A and B are shown apart, each in its own frame.
Chain A
Amino acid sequence: MDARILQEFRAITGDRGLITSPEELKTYECDGLTNFRVIPRAVLLPRGTEEVQSIVRVCHRERVPFVARGSGTGLSGGALPVENGVVISLARMNRILEVDIPNARVVVEPGVINLEVTERVAADGFFYAPDPSSQSVCSIGGNVAENSGGAHCLKYGFTTTHVLGLEVVLPDGSLAHLGGKTLDTPGYDLPGVFVGSEGTLGIATKIILRIVKRPECIQTLLAAFDSTSDAGAAVSGIIAAGMLPAAIEMMDNLAIQAAEAAVHANYPNCGGLLLVELDGPTAEVETLMRQVDEICRQCGAGEIRVAKTEAERAVVWKGRKAAFAAMGRISPNYIVQDGVIPRTALPRIMSEIERLGAEAKIKVANVFHAGDGNLHPLVLYDCRIEGQEHAAEVLANRILELCIEAGGSITGEHGVGEEKKMMMSKMYAEPDLETMQRLRCAFDPDLLSNPTKVFPRPRLCGEQPGEYRPHPLETAGIAERF
Chain B
Amino acid sequence: MQEGAPIAGAELCGVWDDLRAIAGAENLRPGEPGDSVAGVQPEMVIEPANETELAGALRCINAAGLAVVPRGGGTKLAWGNRPACANVVLSTARLDHVIEHAWADLTVSVEAGCNIQNLQNALGCHGQRVAVDPIWPERATVGGVLSTNDTGTLRIRYGALRDLIIGVTIALPDGTLASSGGKVVKNVAGYDLPKLLTGALGTLGVITRAVFRLHPLPHNVRSSTLMVRDLEAANRLMLAVQGSRLAQTGLQARFMAGLGPEVDVRFEGTDAGLAAQAEALQKLADPAIEAVAADAVWQAREKLWSSPQKAAIAKLSVVPASISGTYSRIRDLADSFDVKWSAVVQGTGLGWLRLEASRSDAIHRVLITVRTELERAGGSLNLLHHPADMPAMDAWSSAGDAFPLMLRVKQQFDPRGTLNPGRYIGGI
Assembled-state Cα–Cα distance A435/B190 (Å) = 11
In the complex, what residues of B have CB within 8 A of residue A216's CB?
A: 245
Assembled-state Cα–Cα distance A52/B401 (Å) = 18
Q: How far is the CB of B131 from chain A (nearest CB, A)?
A: 10
Chain B residue, CB-CB nearest to A407: B183
Q: How far is the CB of B172 from chain A (nearest CB, A)?
A: 7
> B186 contacts A283, CB within 8 Å?
no
> B412 contacts A186, CB within 8 Å?
no
Count of A-B contacts judged by CB separation below 8 Å: 262
> A193 contacts B195, CB within 8 Å?
yes
Q: From A149, A236, A287, A372, give the contact of B104 (CB < 8 A).
A: A236
Given A176-B405, A281-B247, A409-B182, residue A182 in contact with residue B190 (CB < 8 A): no
- Whether a CB of chain A sits under 8 angstroms from the CB of B408 is yes
Assembled-state Cα–Cα distance A102/B396 (Å) = 28
- Whether a CB of chain A sits under 8 angstroms from the CB of B106 is yes
Assembled-state Cα–Cα distance A196/B186 (Å) = 12
> A287 contacts B196, CB within 8 Å?
no
Assembled-state Cα–Cα distance A340/B98 (Å) = 24
- Whether a CB of chain B sits under 8 angstroms from the CB of A95 is no
A267-292 contact mask (Cβ, 8 Å, vs B): 1 or 0: 00000000000001111101110000
Given A281-B246, A435-B172, residue A187 in contact with residue B321 (CB < 8 A): no
> B159 contacts A189, CB within 8 Å?
no
- Whether a CB of chain A sits under 8 angstroms from the CB of B92 is no
Chain B residue, CB-CB nearest to A185: B380
Chain A residue, CB-CB nearest to B166: A409
Q: From A100, A153, A244, A436, give the contact of B216 (CB < 8 A).
A: A244
Q: How far is the CB of A452 from chain B (nearest CB, A)?
A: 15
Q: How far is the CB of A281 from chain B (nearest CB, A)?
A: 5
Q: Residues of A within 8 Å of B, CB-based: how many? A: 91
Chain B residue, CB-CB nearest to A156: B159
> A408 contacts B195, CB within 8 Å?
no
In the complex, what residues of B have CB within 8 A of residue A32's CB?
A: none
- Whether a CB of chain A sits under 8 angstroms from the CB of B318 is yes
Q: From B172, B186, B270, B402, give the contact of A340 (CB < 8 A).
A: B186
The CB with the most chain A CB atoms within 10 A, among B172, B189, B196, is that of: B189
Given A432-B178, A442-B409, residue A343 in contact with residue B382 (CB < 8 A): no
Given A193-B191, A213-B242, A442-B408, residue A281 in contact with residue B273 (CB < 8 A): yes
- Whether a CB of chain B sits under 8 angstroms from the CB of A25 is no
> B199 contacts A439, CB within 8 Å?
no
> B104 contacts A373, CB within 8 Å?
no
In the complex, what residues of A have CB within 8 A of residue B242's CB?
A: 104, 213
- Whether a CB of chain B sits under 8 angstroms from the CB of A304 is no
> B378 contacts A239, CB within 8 Å?
no
Assembled-state Cα–Cα distance A180/B401 (Å) = 12
Q: From A189, A344, A440, give the contact of B105 (CB < 8 A).
A: A344
Q: From B195, B204, B217, give the contact of A192 (CB < 8 A).
A: B195
Assembled-state Cα–Cα distance A340/B181 (Å) = 12
- Whether a CB of chain A sits under 8 angstroms from the CB of B379 is yes
Given A242-B217, A340-B184, A343-B104, residue A102 in contact with residue B321 (CB < 8 A): yes
- Whether a CB of chain A sits under 8 angstroms from the CB of B21 is no
- Whether a CB of chain A sits under 8 angstroms from the CB of B269 is yes
Q: Which residues of chain B from 232 to 271 have a CB within 8 Å of any chain A CB?
A: 239, 242-247, 269-270
> B196 contacts A189, CB within 8 Å?
yes
> B183 contacts A342, CB within 8 Å?
yes
In the complex, what residues of B have CB within 8 A of residue A307's CB?
A: none
- Whether a CB of chain B sits under 8 angstroms from the CB of A429 is yes
Q: List 6 A-B contacts (CB under 8 A).
A: A186-B382, A187-B426, A407-B183, A435-B180, A436-B190, A442-B412
Which of A's residues lie within 8 Å of B, judged by CB?
100-105, 125, 146-147, 149, 153, 157-158, 160-161, 170, 175-178, 180-190, 192-193, 195-197, 213-216, 236, 239-240, 242-244, 280-284, 286-288, 340-344, 369, 372-374, 407-416, 420, 424, 427-429, 431-436, 438-443, 454
